[in-house]
Chains A and B, each alone.
Chain A
Amino acid sequence: MLPPVLGVLFDGIAYGMLLFLLSVGLSVTLGLMNFVNLAHCAFAMLGGYVTVSLMNELHWPFFASLPVAFLAAAAASVVFERTLYRRLYRASDLDQVLLTIGIAFVSVAVAAYFFGTTQQPVDMPSYMRGSFDVLGLNIAAYRLFLVGVGVVVTIVLIGTLEYTRFGAQVRAAVDNQRMASGLGINVEHTFAIAFALGSGLAGLGGALAIEIVGLDPNFAFTYLVYVLIIVSVGGLGSIGGSFAAACLIGISDIAGKYYVPELGAFLIYLVMVAVLMWRPAGLFGRR
């Protein structure tokens, strides 16, 4: 028999992965590209609605809908990037805030218009709903799945951004646009792809999250604070940092609720403030 603390640890990591998958796209757009994209959760919401529609209207299996959620959010973001975001890459943070809040507002109204205000039903296959015992520990299937996806996304993303030509181009373009284009990098093109990647990840995160957090038009705002916390605690520009931050926040939140429920509502914010006061640039931030 394993001690219950391991169960708490597993639940915490699983909750952390949920937060990580919701916020990893923002690590790309805000963390790498320095765009204050408060419409991040609107793209996540789009992914969620795509998944729900495919499952309920066309009876697609859940897994088949995930890539579509990614692509739909990525495609939508390219449209916004080309028409709106592109013009504000060099604008002040505050103008970026205003634009992206505006987009989030519009997305809430549009979602309410097309899908109604009700919680969308998510009908998971039953083997994803259950749980199994490992030496007396209760492991929920869907949580294990989230942890797996979280790890895969982290590895793929770090691999792409650190070790491929495209990753080098993105970093070069963000560091110094003029120099990068002088070296023959198509900066506009690179930014558009990086932005699509970030938003696509948002869409994927949204699709994965709805089984646990539900989906209604207010989704675009409800989880905004959580994703900002993960990205800032992890440190701007670091995917690994976001991963570590998500684990830290997830574990401390679950452990807090389990051992000291009186502090349940406070812990996530307390941990954030404490980490940022200790390391102002975040856990793995480089600036």
Chain B
Amino acid sequence: MIPKSGNRLSDKIMRPQDAMSLAGAPSQPQEYLRSLSRWHPLEIAFWLATLLPFFLFPTYLSLASQIAVAALFALSLDIILGYAGIVSLGHAAFFGIGAYAAGLFSKFVWGEPFSGLLIAAAMAALIGYLTSFIIARFRHLTLIMITLGLGLLLAEAANSAGWLTGGSDGLQGVKIWPVFGYFKFDLYGTTAYGYSLAVLFLVFLAVRRLIHSPFGLSLRGIRENWTRMPAVGADSRAHIRKAYTIAAAIAGIAGAVIAQTTQTVSLEALSFERSADVLVMLVLGGAGRLYGGLVGAIIFMVARDQFSGIAPQYWYFGIGILLILVVMLLPNGILGGLAKLTARWSRK
């Protein structure tokens, strides 16, 4: 049976509004890229707003810190899913590698956090690069299942290697020094949030630059038409390998930040649930948009915290209804749906 082409994953992920903006682009590609990379006032407002928890919600900073980590993780998934069209259900593998790398580094070498971050990023990037040779060969459901399988294999391996990872009790002996030797990770999460937010912002700047570069443009080309890109001189597989490695490094950084700010590492960092949660957050916010993962992480985590505060046993109900409502009212995620609404509104 030959399916109608509209059912292929790659075709489905295509967003009409992106095609429109490409069609309306200035004739000079450099000009187009530059126009994209200009900072919108809303973006500046968004980042200023991330400082508000310090003043408005000082007892919610631990949560804010973990939201920042989730946002960073979702941003990393966005690079491969939203921009290169690789749906992964095993992205927690890199999150976990980063978490364990940072934890083990603090246990056996030293507890200075920034060097831990670098080691974690390098480890995750290395494994990401090695697996990218497999990833770049597959598409669609096969790819989803291979990422899922590799992720679960790694989780089982970490459970088996109890001598190194501490197995299901978690890694013991993680000790992180104060940031810059001065800011201790405290009970309020003040340092944790400051640290997570700073890392998120720096990585975001880098990703933003990357997406608005010719490389980012070719990634989107691959997402739209995998087979045609080589014809215009962009080697799809090489680009996918590069994107996958970068995304792995960022996921590793996210894992390292959670390990350092909570000083705990456990198998949960590698779990299928974590892979699934980050996918849900990204799709909820809107894949293929720089702020999609960030918005998704904020909405998902805050909603979960609130619902769980009301009914610890039944918060699934609230989250489920939220997801269903978003799909029905705002297709293509919250940002995708809003963009469509504003476009319709401004045309009137």
Is the A/B pair a real complex? Answer: yes
CB-defined contacts of A177 to chain B, threshold 8 Å: 4
B1 and A175 within 8 A (CB)? yes
Contact partner, B332, options A95, A97, A276, Cβ 8 Å: A95
Contact partner, A94, options B4, B13, B150, B324, Cβ 8 Å: B13
Q: Does A101 contact B (CB under 8 A)?
A: yes
CB-defined contacts of A107 to chain B, threshold 8 Å: 320
CB-defined contacts of B139 to chain A, threshold 8 Å: 280
Chain A residue with Cβ nearest B284 = A98
Q: Does A194 contact B (CB under 8 A)?
A: no
Chain B residue with Cβ nearest A172 = B1
Contact partner, B287, options A94, A110, A225, Cβ 8 Å: A94
Which stretch, B94-102, B122-130, B140-148, B255-263, touches the partner chain A? B140-148
B141 and A232 within 8 A (CB)? yes
A229 and B145 within 8 A (CB)? yes
CA distance in complex: A286, B9 (Å)? 16
CB-defined contacts of A282 to chain B, threshold 8 Å: 142
Contact partner, B317, options A105, A269, A277, Cβ 8 Å: A105
Q: Could you tell me the distance in whole angstroms from the C-beta of B130 to the nearest C-beta in chain A?
A: 14
Q: Does B313 contact A (CB under 8 A)?
A: yes
B-side interface size class = 35 or more
Cβ contacts B260-281/A at 8 Å (1 or 0 each) = 0000000000001000100110
Most buried by A among B138, B139, B279, B283: B283
B326 and A98 within 8 A (CB)? yes
CB-defined contacts of A281 to chain B, threshold 8 Å: 142
Q: Can you spell out 5 A-B residue pairs with CB atoms less than 8 angstroms apart?
A: A92-B12, A106-B317, A174-B4, A229-B145, A281-B142
The 10 closest A-B pairs by CB, nearest first: A102-B323, A105-B320, A106-B320, A109-B317, A102-B324, A109-B316, A273-B149, A92-B12, A232-B145, A99-B327
Mark B residues whose CB is within 8 Å of A. 1-4, 6-7, 9, 12-13, 87, 134, 137-139, 141-142, 144-146, 148-150, 152-153, 156-157, 159-160, 272, 276, 279-280, 283-284, 287, 313-317, 319-324, 326-328, 331-333
